[in-house]
Structure 1
Amino acid sequence: MIDTKLLDILACPACKGDVEYDARNEKIICTQCKKKYPVKDGIPVMLVEEAEE
């Protein structure tokens, strides 16, 4: 689970949009460009190269 305080300060590195956490798939999803960033061992990997479209 990702702390909601962390989600409040994270932004998509590609478009600077807000993000939300998908606990089922363990992904951080941008609400604007819809890129999906993986969460590995509880740590968000906010790298554009690691994102899924």
Structure 2
Amino acid sequence: MSETEFDPKMLEALICPQTHQTLHYDVDKQELVSKSANLAFPIRGGIPVMLIDEARHLD
């Protein structure tokens, strides 16, 4: 794994900052998805950006 890849083991420690529910890792889009909040949090340089203002709203 390179330094810029997201480590899926981090999912065990991360939760949605809005709903405090679990997240799903979308490998193709490099996002952590909160289905309960209908938000997708970007992963930049292997680091998840868990700010609600940075999240993409899902359709």
TM bucket (normalised to shorter chain) is: 0.7 to 0.9
Higher relative contact order (CA 8 A, sep 6+): 2
**Which TM-score applies when normalising by structure 2?**
0.79
Give % identity. Answer: 32
Gap runs ≥5 in structure 2: none
Measured after TM superposition, the shift of residue 13 of structure 1 is: 0.5
**Which TM-score applies when normalising by structure 1?**
0.86
Aligned length: 53
* Pairwise CA RMSD: 1.2
Gap runs ≥5 in structure 1: none
**Structure whose alpha-carbon radius of gyration is higher:** 2
Q: Partners in 1 of 2:13 and 2:35 — Cα distance? A: 14
1:49 paired to 2:35: no
Q: Partners in 2 of 1:40 and 1:31 — Cα distance? A: 20
